[in-house]
Structure 1
């Protein structure tokens, strides 16, 4: 790949811009490295940085960068530039150095391989042997390059990456281009730093043999599903720069059809629609699945973890144009057994499947308990269908409940049952098929009974994703964004509130916490800092570097009349005083991303080793730990453990640790188990109502009132389809409980009986943020970067 000198803007909040050599030396310490290049005068690579939420675009002017801010954190990019000349083969110390380089014969047909979902894990010897055979076979084919569609490892641990790297033949390493899967990012509290140190950028593009390739990364730190969000602007600009070159994309999550793994896949399809995107390679579902929609062919590939499989892709040129022929290669049970090659799919590069379907232009009108849908596909349409977008689905596949539309002249019409829909904002999906089976998908939004909104409702656009729990004290609500923007809103003032102040820090993934007097708010950031802001005006009181991304919610306790702030950063538990001085630090095995608890004598935190831990509050000395699950390997102990738990001290003095399978109450002095309640309580923090009532909720939207002394259930109600890092809150005026599901459904529960009242579908984004109530207003934050207040 050819390179020319370019300017790289780099900045870390409140730190000076360092030289390229300094940043490269920092790679071994988890720092983010600058990367990128332009080829033939256009952008071909960008990277995410700043704790996994910044995308640095190299070669852009300051004005271009400001105009192109994304959810990956252009807000954190400073104006100071560092000159970057040609650097060796071009990609830095990562794999893929030969990808995009000039081939011996540029006119030769393309030959490349695809594998996905290798799930490297040091403890799975048999599967590692399988992967080694796959890699050796791919090397023997001598492809131009290899695409890896993510889930490289089981959990993105250092040992997993080391294991994966040890299996790759040296001659193949420089030809592999990777994208992360949810397994790299879901449990990664380094905020992508570890991934980038091993593999470089997570989103980028390159050109080979007259074809434009784009690596996409919609993964979200600490979360399961995907989201493109502001990255769509970069994708659009990159495609525009590629001109008429046919484009192939690769990412982890399959899109379209029955796939609901990325919440804004509809926006993604609208973004790429004007451009010649002809194919997508994906993984995640561990099986082959071929779909043709919106002018492209998508190949979701079988997992190489499951057996000796990979895909071989070769270019064929004939009278119809260029076509990528995709075959599945299955190695024999031993090296002496024959290799089986099965045809899988063809991806036309010069023809768009179903292009005569045209644009559907869907319209939806809510009338009483019905939804009237109209679409106008092209004359090639032989079938058209519609469904209400299943907003309650989250990171999964679903065949849907489609209703046939009937043609009337040039348009197609149908009526959907809307009786069960809450008032508020929804989406409708429409799809049409031609005779070949190629499809086109389009989505439109509609309002059901919009008159039910209240005059006191309000919205404030913050940008990025509002991912952490909201914090509130004295009527001031604080929300932090992955863009680095933090806002303080006086939600108790009459009228439509505005931010009382804003502060720009590093990317914020988890909630802030107020001091006990409400005058200071402590904000965790992926740029390794914990920052204390004045709650009145947002100015910085102090900021301390904790050495690692701070991807947990701080807990603040009054100990002897003085505040103590306890927070985890990676695998370190820190205890700070109100001035930011670190009183002690202790280790939490593997990692911790939840919120600690304290009873005045001990501090409790969930670890990535599957255990709940207790520490001496004065010294940080480790006192005891309890194993919360009986999984036999470290990966499953992590994912089935309390690594993301908001640990709680119950009114009885017992300590509650929660996992995806159980809530476990233990004795504070010894960790002895007192009671255990089966259920996935990890991702929905509990709420103590009074001395005798504890409210728990599962990630599947089941809310339960239990006795904190015994764990006995008083009532259980199915409230919403899904809860992730959010949970119920109580209106102190009325005693009513309020809950916002991950998909934006707002419900009210009666605390005495558990009776559920559906109130509103608030948005079509997702929320991973626990709301707050200020006066008569429920304040909710969402992944679309909007802070909302609704009158209750």
Structure 2
């Protein structure tokens, strides 16, 4: 057993050794961002203040963004600074810890501790959870973690008080965690007193169904929470630098309390309206002073209800709701606090999935369609081969770790890399492993293959050339950061975009540098997320400062550059280059998709989806472009004009996936673990309605 594992066991013992009725306090801090920030002294000052508290807190929980970039150097610096703390510290991962990290979640676990924890003190139970999605800003709870939480809660003594800690906010504002309702449903039957989060860099409190949620600013910004508990009462204070003295936010009873309940029953579609029957139960008979509803990630809107003291009917217009699977939330505000019920509604339309296939984990990488089969990478560490016509499983092979990379497929084999550092070559016909090799973890990049050479990248910042025959290392090339996007083979070279701001062209046989180009005004704007696209003569790559760059493949000479509209940035979605046109989405609230002439850089058209498009790129077939918003709306866009012809709402699950197609249908995956197949061909009289 390693020293770090032993140290975390010691921390848990310290946290748990206590008398049942002990009074104690703990602190909640968040968003320390140790690394490139210039606020280390502020953190050190708070550490000294915490050490001087009397009585001393039992523990401190940092709810994520412990570091700025999640590098080994930053983790070391964080540990060095926090070593001055004389109080046990629990660290929770945030998006900054995994979004730009070459060492991924494995690095967080190595340096800062487990990704999830459960401890008990004085009869109170505490759960630290991982809400991060690898390489992303948004949040997601992996199903394995939610099952773990559910099982732990079931084993608690009846009425035991519970606190939760994780990074991304839930149950308020823009939906940051796609499966927040799954978490909220799990905790609903239990005596959860408060949930502490970060991410938003604001001092906020809000309620949902009797549970208090609290967010603090970053510690360096001067904000944290202090909580004191005993055998009957919980007191929560907010401490901000502007006031100095703690401000009491609330007092909560330790014991479970009866609260109003809102249940949604009898939901049905009737013409252009949704009818829902809402059942309201209040312990003291109080009626709500306000009713509201919302669809998916939309804004809450006041609605009028009809009914008596306990059963109410609400009618919601549905004329402008697109086909698909929609989450509909209902809210009753009673005594100034919201109580919510929720349901899922299937809205019929002229299109629906041809089939769906559920994996055991999130799907982020592009599903690759090859010769009648879809090859799917899943966060459950398994590679799936599924019949593209029927959605039936052909085979599956467990690789291990997390599969963030898309597979590379040839006539004979499938090659896949894992966050465990494994690169595996499988026989395409049955999934049998032909060989495995190990690289420094994690492997994020989707490999390229050229004439017997596999090109991939690893957590040590190197790009590797491996033998397709046996996985042996043929060459390696050191970059200044790491590669997470697809590595593209073209004309005896491999093209890769890197977080060190360079696009590299390497000789496929030797790994020698042919050329490189630097883009992006700083690290954060590197050409590293959207994958390169090529037609053999030119290569196109986006950088995160909102610029699309076209270069000559042979020399790297920049041919043209196009900037996206203000507030909508090239850099995240991967471009598609087809028939002399580059199709590329841009990150922003307008959800723009561009068509650009690859020869001249002149704009052909711009389509506005009205939904944020994040990492999802484009695929093309039957005269249409296919892409998806992060919210799960899939679009059919007329290739010749940019007219949006149709949209379909997938079930809840962030979409960062690039679709792929066999010409008759296209497939796309989501963080809910499901891959969906849709027809590419549609009738021209089926129009998209907004």
Shift of residue 99, structure 1, vs aligned partner: 4.1
Separation in 1, partners of 2:174, 2:592: 25
Please tell me whether residue 246 in structure 1 is matched to residue 152 in structure 2. Answer: no
Q: Is residue 626 of structure 1 aligned with residue 517 of structure 2?
A: yes
Aligned to 1:469: 366
TM-fit CA distance, 1:97: 5.3
After superposition, the Cα gap between the structure-2 partners of 1:713 and 1:362, relative to the gap in structure 1 and judged at 3 Å, is: farther
Q: Secondary structure at the match of 1:779?
A: strand
**Corresponding residue number in structure 2 for 1:584:** 475
Go from structure 1 to structure 2 and tell me whether the alpha carbon gap of 1:177 and 1:527 turns closer, same or farther (over 3 Å shift): same
Cα drift, residue 384 of structure 1 = 4.6
Q: CA deviation at 1:590?
A: 1.4
Distance in 1 (CA, whole Å) between partners of 2:137 and 2:601 is: 29
Pairs within 5 Å for 1:460-499: 460-492=357-389, 496-499=390-393
SS at match of 1:603: strand
- 8 A contact 2:21–2:230 mirrored in 1: no
Q: Partner of 1:439 in structure 2?
A: 338
The whole-number CA distance in structure 1 between the counterparts of 2:193 and 2:9 is 26
For residues 406-448 of structure 1, the C-alpha deviation after alignment (integer angstroms, 9 at most, x for no partner) is 444422222222222111211100111222x222222200111
Using the alignment, how far apart are the partners of 1:655 and 1:329 within structure 2? Answer: 48
- The separation in 1 between residues aligned to 2:552 and 2:659, in whole angstroms, is 30
Compute the TM-score of the two structures, normalised by the length of structure 2. Answer: 0.90
- Work out which of the residue numbers 293, 298, 317 in structure 2 matches 1:387: 293
Structure 1's 298 and 712: CA in aligned 2 closer, same or farther, altered over 3 A? same
Give the match for residue 292 of structure 1.
207
The C-alpha deviation readout for 1:131-184, integer Å capped at 9, x for no partner, is: 111111111112111111111111111222222222225452x51111111111
Question: 1:501, CA displacement in angstroms?
Answer: 1.3
Q: C-alpha separation between the residues in 2 aligned to 1:586 and 1:479?
A: 28
RMSD: 2.4
- Equivalent residue, structure 2, for 1:519: 412
Give yes or no for contact 1:357–1:433 (8 Å, CA) kept in 2. no
The correspondence for 2:184, drawn from 246, 258, 269, is 269
Q: TM-score, normalised by structure 1?
A: 0.79
Partner of 1:685: 574
Q: 1:201-240 alignment to 2 at 5 Å?
A: 201-230=114-143, 231-240=145-154
How far apart in 1 are the matches of 2:218 and 2:8?
A: 30
The answer to whether the 8 A contact 1:532-1:543 is kept is yes
Contact 1:480 1:512 in 2 (8 A): yes
- Superposed, which structure 2 residues align to 1:117-136 within 5 Å? 117-121=31-35, 123-125=36-38, 127-136=39-48
Aligned partners of 1:556 and 1:566 also within 8 Å: yes
Distance 1:270 1:207 in 2: 22
- Specify whether residues 361 and 429 from structure 1 end up closer, same or farther in structure 2 by C-alpha distance, changes over 3 A only: same
Match of 1:780 in 2: 668
SS at match of 2:509: coil
Report what 1:502 is aligned to.
Answer: 396
Alpha carbons of structure 1 residues 615 and 774: separation in structure 2 relative to 1, 3 Å: closer
* 1:371 pairs with 2:284: no
Work out the CA distance in 2 between the residues paired with 1:154 and 1:620.
32
2:15 maps to which residue? 100
Distance 2:50 2:520 in 1: 39
1:343 aligns with 2:248: yes
Aligned to 2:683: none
In structure 2, C-alpha distance between the alignment counterparts of 1:623 and 1:99, rounded to whole Å? 56
1:782–1:774 Cα change, 3 Å: same
CA distance in 2, matches of 1:178, 1:406: 48
Write out aligned runs for 1:354-433 (5 A). 355-378=258-281, 379-391=285-297, 400-433=300-333
Number of equivalenced pairs: 664
173, 176, 180: which is aligned to 1:258? 173
Matching residue of 1:542: 435
Is 1:147 matched up with 2:52?
no
Q: Which runs of 5+ in 2 are unaligned?
A: 681-690
How far residue 351 of structure 1 moved from its aligned partner, in angstroms, is 4.4
Q: What is the alpha-carbon distance in structure 1 between the residues aligned to residue 322 and residue 614 of structure 2?
A: 20
Aligned mates of 2:140, 2:535 — CA distance in 1: 36
1:639-678 to structure 2, matched below 5 A, reads 639-650=524-535, 652-668=537-553, 671-678=556-563
1:124 is paired with a residue whose SS is coil
Deviation of 1:623 (Å):
4.6
Please state if 1:595 is matched with 2:486: yes
